[in-house]
Amino acid sequence: VAISNGVDDIRIRRESVTLKELIGGGQFGNVYKGIFTQDDVHVAVAVKVCKAENEPADMQLILQEAHVMKNFKHDHIVAMIGVCAENPIWLVLELAPLGELRQYLSGNKGALSATTQVLFAYQLSTAVEYLHSNNYVHRDIAARNALVSNANCVKLSDFGLSRALDYDAVYTASRGKLPIKWLAPESILYRAFSMSSDVWMFGILIWEIFACGVKPWTGVSNVDVVGRIEAGDRPSRTTDCPESMHDFLVHHVWAFEAHKRPVMSEIVRVLQEVQEQLKRW
Ligand code: ADP
């Protein structure tokens, strides 16, 4: 059946993909390691096998979003290689061999230098800046959505999917909860998402990197978070986080009013400066 939904240029033949071992499970289906073969060249890939029971409307959205993702090319964004568009949908992605950032951080606790932590934050900030320069709001920035390619390279993973589907449906139906502890107050209160709410979330991601994979607001229940924020509380500094970095988060990135927060390019610049400072020490 010829469907003109603009996804034809990203279609790949299922025969060109060989599935290998299971590497993870997500809300849309399982993720396998795989080999993609094109013109006799074999590439290791990650293949997301979308659950066949996904609603047809959701499948359409997944395909559309895969198309959007395919156009984003950045060193710190996991590349969308292509899709096998018939049921079950296979999303063929660049493989990040070292897996989830959160696990990597907690697994290497104590062994990661501040230089590496700032490098990771910097790389991811350039990815979000790139998305923003393309007028794309991510809405789900968190360490759980970043993957590790090698010891010196992290990437934002396939963000498109959670955004393509109705945000409430994704989090309330499939995951059972909104990522409250990562959200900007206006996102919690009014479901408002913008580049400024991405900036708040990026601040939480920076915090997570220095906390080595600990989740923010531990010991605080979701219903209390927004009240704590309104009262002026912010996640407290972890020992690894340079004081100047934490001050920047508290006084600028986590400004209650969205318009008072810096833009992403400002965060990139600050992280660049911190990198320079660390080199001089
Ligand atoms: P979903 O968005 O459907 O919830 P995820 O994208 O979180 O699924 O993927 C589930 C798991 O699969 C991840 O936690 C990660 O361990 C693994 N994974 C996903 N994409 C890749 C990739 N490109 N490279 C390596 N591992 C991946």
Q: What spatial distance separates the first Cα and last Cα of the chain, rounded to whole Å?
A: 62
pLDDT in tens, 136-187: 998 889 999 999 999 999 999 866 555 545 544 444 434 446 799 999 999 9
Residue 117 beta carbon below 6 angstroms from any ligand 1 atom:
no
- Can you tell me the distance from the alpha carbon of 266 to that of 196, in angstroms, rounded to the nearest whole number? 12
The ipTM estimated for the assembled molecules is 0.95
pLDDT in tens, 2-22: 444 555 678 999 999 999 999
Contact 171, 179 (CB under 8 A): yes
pLDDT in tens, 212-232: 999 999 999 999 999 999 999
Cα–ligand 1 centroid distance for 277 (angstroms): 34
Q: Closest Cα partner for 158 from 67, 260, 231, 97?
A: 67
Handedness of CA 219, 223, 226, 230 (dihedral sign): negative
Give the angle 196-201-203 at the CA atoms, nearest 5°: 100
pTM: 0.91
Residue 51 beta carbon below 6 angstroms from any ligand 1 atom:
no
Q: Which of 8, 39, 140, 198 is catalytic?
A: 140
Ligand 1 atom with minimal separation from the 162 CA: 2
DSSP bridge partners of 80 = 93
